[in-house]
């Protein structure tokens, strides 16, 4: 190990940083929206772009087809025959850009603007997950530029379907188990505690999503000719959505909470010790009042309790002006975040039943789901996790916080189940990065220190 | 009067009928959607098209500007100095074509297809109201072609904003009172009882519409990071919509029913005597069960009771696939049909209050309305109405039914209030014409017999 010099690597990172930003900008210009088939060509273009980069860095590259979008796989061995093998996970697909009109600059025209932390890069995917992926890619580049070598054998797996719930991932992992073999997986898709405090995420909520369409009259009706004499599908759907939670914020889907553990005193104390600032968390999104399930604090609600949210709802005339129509159909997309041992496979049919049981007699409904993931808690005493903590401390000169995350990364569960691999989740996002929202951004300081951190972490992982 | 020969007129109508259809097709090709500013040029083009037709028939024409879309006005005097003056009302604007994907043929590419009654013309506006307007225009054309004269002085007023609630009409009528002076107004925008039974509409429901947007968080949120800890605007809006009616179908907006008279026994008996067929009415739109306000029959609900319907509702991600977002805003368009003396000006602020009272503490809302009309009942003993009945009987060889209409025609109230003119509402639509819906159509037999009826009615009106 003595032949690797972190100072040389970080010096190179600093000198090359403008180029790193430009490379990220190039990648962000490709609208790799995985959920919308209209962007299929761009998704592939984003994969090819990264393949080309990795090829140039001396990685063996392979674009592996799946039932959906392909996986970018790359490998470069260390000269040290005894080196550990680290699998890095990220995703090259992004959320849709809409609502486009709420962006200050076009989502796929990356723009650098001033921020309270210096400069930030604004674009769809700037953080989630192209910017985050670049933190480890650019760290590898710096090692290769300064040492023509890497401290560990590196495997890279970049998925193209994370934003649609990773539907092809299980099968992909099963079929490619051999080439993916590693000592540990490093996942870069999570957030810091704040701009100066790094974090390692050890718990994730699970996710299920569903899309329900209900249909009453066989066609749209004139509200004058029929109003008052038929059940309006938008009223019927609103009635059902209004019943999803009771007045205490409890989700009413039958058996929903089965497997969701009550918080233990120790966990409550640990969450409380994080000194999460409700006023700041809510103030940043223009709100004052806490809300949610009675009996829990805000941080408990988002780290340790399940949730159920409508993500989209529509029906009838939604254009300019007014059209006095009674819609034939009404639609809702919803998702649930899961904790503990809540089982997506059991909850999905109960959501369907919840809607079906409340459907007016003459109505029909269709139900589909896009993806599902179990909640996950990672062991916090693993030597790899401790190595990552050390690497972060080298860069930030303070201890990394161990945090939960309200979101879901289906890959982490799949990697554990299919490859038997533990993951270390370390990322450099901030809570105000607007991921999945208009004006998504990544602070340039997060990108720069993320690259530096991954360099330090890689050296620590090599020592395990 | 002896110099007018109805047989000559109807013979001409028959010979010229293919041309009548082609003229209507030409007019229907112009997408005069009044509610959407993107179609503003087409609205004007549709007005110009009709101006040109009327000019060719020897009418004095005048396009009169309003605060919104212009009014087509035309006048042709009878040679008989003592002739009555009849004002004909219709509208040249149409509803939007969407949802376009549910049309079998494009809404603005009129197509003639087989129907259970022979042939029908399918297009947006085929019935409402371009086809109906053509019934009287083509009747005038036949008189002029065969007699170079008309039995009455004819004034024509075609509005371009009926589908948006006629916002400019009151002011227009007030400013143009002199040129609009007449003995009676004939309105052609209503339906027949069935394909063989003509009808005169003597009651209309009133209309108010409103658009409400509520806003919670200042931006769209990631449902993983925030789900369970904030109030979801789509849930909040669904909660409010779900409260619009109680379990008995009663509308819960405060003071809503003030001015809505209970049905008298005589009216109930008259409605019952129409032998309205619930199973047929509902079966035609794929439904089996009656619904609505408890204690009323279906025909009472649509002719004589008020209603409140969401016409459109939307928020969050409504594209392909899934996006796990909590929307910042949620939107609803709704309208109410009014009866008796219900006052739109009093109900609108109560709708606003109904939503505002139920808004979560951190939320803001905006409220706007597009138009309003009082409900209306016309005297059924007027000599003009009896003349129209006689004319219809000449054509159909059976008595016209006197019916109510669930829809609203703001012009009828405005013409009464501003011009002091009584209206006779006679039209040739059918309940399955899909007005305001995909695949709107007009039966060619309704067009043909409508033209013939207007010829007969005009002769009867001349005798009053």
Output the pLDDT for position A274: 86
Residue B131 has pLDDT above 90, yes or no: yes
**At A403, is the pLDDT very low, low, confident or very high (cuts 50, 70, 90)?**
confident
pLDDT, tens digit (0-9, with 9 covering 90-100), for B58-94: 999 999 999 999 999 999 999 999 999 999 999 999 9
pLDDT, tens digit (0-9, with 9 covering 90-100), for A252-302: 999 999 999 999 898 899 889 988 999 999 999 999 999 999 999 999 999
> Looking at the structure, do residues B109 and B240 belong to the same domain, yes or no?
no
Q: How far is B88 from chain A (nearest CA, A)?
A: 23
Q: Structural domain tally of chain A?
A: 2
> Looking at the structure, do residues B97 and B161 belong to the same domain, yes or no?
yes
> In this prediction, does ipTM exceed 0.85?
no
A28, two tokens: 């962000």
Find residue B336's DSSP bridge partners: B208, B308
> Looking at the structure, do residues A369 and A396 belong to the same domain, yes or no?
no
Residue B215 has pLDDT above 90, yes or no: yes
pLDDT > 70 in chain B, percent: 100
**Do residue B291 and residue A326 have CB atoms under 8 angstroms apart?**
no
> Looking at the structure, do residues B354 and B436 belong to the same domain, yes or no?
no
pLDDT, tens digit (0-9, with 9 covering 90-100), for B250-259: 999 999 999 9
Of A326, A220, A327, A333, residue with least CA distance to B315: A333
> Looking at the structure, do residues A165 and A252 belong to the same domain, yes or no?
no
User: Is position B184 within any domain?
Assistant: yes
> Looking at the structure, do residues B232 and B144 belong to the same domain, yes or no?
no
**Do residue B36 and residue A319 have CB atoms under 8 angstroms apart?**
yes
Instruction: Among A244, A323, A434, select the one facing B219 at the smallest CB separation.
Output: A434
**Do residue A314 and residue B313 have CB atoms under 8 angstroms apart?**
yes
Q: How far is A201 from chain B (nearest CA, A)?
A: 13
Output the pLDDT for position A278: 95
User: Is position A278 within any domain?
Assistant: no
User: Is position B280 within any domain?
Assistant: no
Q: Mind giving me the DSSP string for A222-277? A: EHHHHTTTS--HHHHHHHHHHTSB-TTS-B-STTTTTT-PPPPHHHHHHHHHT---
> Looking at the structure, do residues A81 and A174 belong to the same domain, yes or no?
yes
Output the pLDDT for position A225: 86
pLDDT, tens digit (0-9, with 9 covering 90-100), for A27-43: 999 999 999 999 999 99
Domain boundary among B317, B352, B373: B373
Residue of B212, B213, B223, B342 to mutate, testing the A interface (most A Cβ within 10 Å of its Cβ) = B223
A361, two tokens: 């007699």
Buried residues in B149-172 as b, exposed as e (16+ CB within 10 A): ebbbbbbbbbbbbbbbbbbbbeeb
Size of interface A-B (CB pairs under 8 A): 357
> Looking at the structure, do residues A88 and A235 belong to the same domain, yes or no?
no
User: Is position B267 within any domain?
Assistant: no
Output the pLDDT for position A85: 98
Contacts with A98 from chain B: Cβ below 8 Å:
317, 319
pLDDT, tens digit (0-9, with 9 covering 90-100), for A421-460: 999 999 999 988 999 889 999 999 999 999 999 999 999 9
Alpha-carbon distance of A93 to A410, in angstroms, equals 14
**Do residue A310 and residue B238 have CB atoms under 8 angstroms apart?**
yes
Instruction: Among B36, B207, B218, select the one facing A286 at the smallest CB separation.
Output: B218
Provide the sign of the torsion angle of the four alpha carbons A35, A40, A46, A47, taken in this order: positive
Provide the sign of the torsion angle of the four alpha carbons A416, A419, A423, A428, taken in this order: negative
In the 3-class helix/strand/coil scheme, how is B183-251 assigned residue by residue?
CEEEECCCECCECCECEEEEEECEEEEEEEEEECCCCCEEHHHHCCCCCCHHHHHHHHHHCCECCCCCE
Instruction: Among A242, A324, A361, select the one facing B238 at the smallest CB separation.
Output: A242
> Which CATH number is B44's domain given?
3.40.630.10
Helix (H) or strand (E) holding A87: strand A85-91
User: Is position B76 within any domain?
Assistant: yes
**At A69, is the pLDDT very low, low, confident or very high (cuts 50, 70, 90)?**
very high
Alpha-carbon distance of A278 to A291, in angstroms, equals 11
User: Is position B413 within any domain?
Assistant: yes
> Looking at the structure, do residues B38 and B183 belong to the same domain, yes or no?
yes
**Do residue B362 and residue A289 have CB atoms under 8 angstroms apart?**
yes
B98, two tokens: 């969407």
- The number of CA neighbours under 13 Å toward the Cβ of B147 is 25
pLDDT > 70 in chain A, percent: 100
What domain range includes position B246? 206-260+306-373
Residue A382 has pLDDT above 70, yes or no: yes
> Looking at the structure, do residues A366 and A457 belong to the same domain, yes or no?
no
- The number of CA neighbours under 13 Å toward the Cβ of A286 is 13
Domain boundary among B373, B390, B408: B373
Output the pLDDT for position B1: 47
Check: CB of residue B203 under 8 Å from CB of residue B274.
no
User: Is position A279 within any domain?
Assistant: no
Which residue on chain A is closest to B289 by alpha carbon? A362
Which residue on chain A is closest to B234 by alpha carbon? A310
Helix (H) or strand (E) holding B44: helix B40-56
The DSSP code for B33 is B
pLDDT, tens digit (0-9, with 9 covering 90-100), for A354-373: 999 999 999 999 999 877 88
Residue of B33, B189, B228 to mutate, testing the A interface (most A Cβ within 10 Å of its Cβ) = B228
> Looking at the structure, do residues B180 and B318 belong to the same domain, yes or no?
no
> Looking at the structure, do residues A142 and A224 belong to the same domain, yes or no?
no
Contacts with A249 from chain B: Cβ below 8 Å:
228
Contacts with B312 from chain A: Cβ below 8 Å:
234, 315-318, 323, 325, 327
Domain boundary among B373, B388, B406: B373
**Do residue B362 and residue A301 have CB atoms under 8 angstroms apart?**
no
**Do residue A223 and residue B337 have CB atoms under 8 angstroms apart?**
yes
User: Is position B200 within any domain?
Assistant: yes
Q: How far is B80 from chain A (nearest CA, A)?
A: 41
Output the pLDDT for position A402: 87
The mean pLDDT of chain A is: 95
> Which CATH number is A369's domain given?
3.30.70.360
Alpha-carbon distance of A331 to A318, in angstroms, equals 13
Count the Cβ atoms, other than its own, within 10 Å of residue B292. 22
Q: Respond yes or no on whether the N-terminal peptide bond of residue B117 is cis (omega within 30° of 0).
A: no
């Amino acid at each position: 190990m003595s032949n690797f010099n972190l100072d040389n690597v970080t010096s190179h990172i600093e000198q090359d940083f403008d180029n790193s930003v430009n490379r990220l900008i190039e990648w962000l210009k490709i609208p790799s929206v995985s959920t919308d088939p209209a962007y299929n060509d761009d998704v592939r273009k984003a994969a090819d772009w990264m393949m080309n980069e990795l090829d140039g860095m001396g990685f063996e590259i392979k674009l592996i087809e799946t039932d959906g979008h392909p996986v970018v796989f790359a490998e470069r061995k260390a000269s040290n025959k005894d080196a550990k093998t680290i699998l890095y996970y990220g995703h090259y697909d992004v959320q849709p850009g809409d609502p486009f009109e709420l962006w200050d600059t076009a989502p796929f025209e990356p723009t650098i603007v001033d921020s309270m932390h210096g400069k930030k890069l604004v674009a769809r995917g700037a953080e989630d997950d192209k910017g985050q992926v670049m933190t480890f890619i650019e760290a590898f580049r710096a090692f290769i530029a300064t040492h023509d070598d890497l401290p560990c054998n590196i495997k890279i797996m970049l998925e193209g379907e994370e934003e649609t719930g990773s539907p092809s991932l299980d099968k992909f992992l099963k079929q490619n188990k051999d080439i993916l073999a590693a000592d540990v997986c490093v996942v870069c898709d999570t957030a810091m505690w704040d701009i100066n405090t790094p974090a390692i995420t050890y718990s994730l909520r699970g996710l299920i999503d569903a899309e329900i369409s209900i249909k009453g009259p066989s066609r749209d009706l004139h509200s004058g000719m029929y109003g008052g004499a038929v059940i309006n599908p938008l009223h019927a759907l609103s009635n059902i959505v209004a019943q999803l939670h009771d007045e205490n914020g409890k989700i009413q889907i039958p058996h929903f909470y089965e497997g969701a553990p009550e918080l233990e005193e120790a966990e409550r104390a640990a969450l409380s010790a994080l000194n999460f600032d409700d006023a700041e968390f809510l103030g940043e999104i223009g709100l004052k009042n806490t809300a949610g399930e009675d009996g829990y604090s805000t941080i408990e609600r988002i780290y340790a309790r399940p949730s159920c949210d409508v993500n989209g709802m529509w029906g009838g005339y939604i254009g300019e002006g007014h059209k006095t129509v009674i819609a034939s159909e009404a639609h809702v997309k919803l998702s649930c975040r899961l904790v503990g041992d809540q089982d997506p496979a059991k909850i999905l049919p109960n959501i369907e039943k919840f809607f079906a049981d409340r459907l007016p007699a003459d109505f029909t409904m269709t139900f589909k789901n896009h993806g599902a993931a179990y909640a996950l808690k990672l062991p916090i005493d693993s030597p790899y996790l401790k190595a990552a903590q050390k690497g972060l401390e080298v860069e930030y000169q303070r201890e990394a916080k161990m945090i939960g995350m309200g979101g879901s990364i289906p890959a982490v569960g799949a990697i554990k189940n299919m490859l038997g691999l533990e993951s270390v989740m370390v990322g450099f996002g901030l809570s105000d990065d607007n991921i999945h929202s208009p004006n998504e951004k990544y602070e340039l300081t997060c990108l720069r220190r993320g690259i530096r951190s991954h360099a330090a972490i890689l050296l620590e992982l090599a020592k395990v």
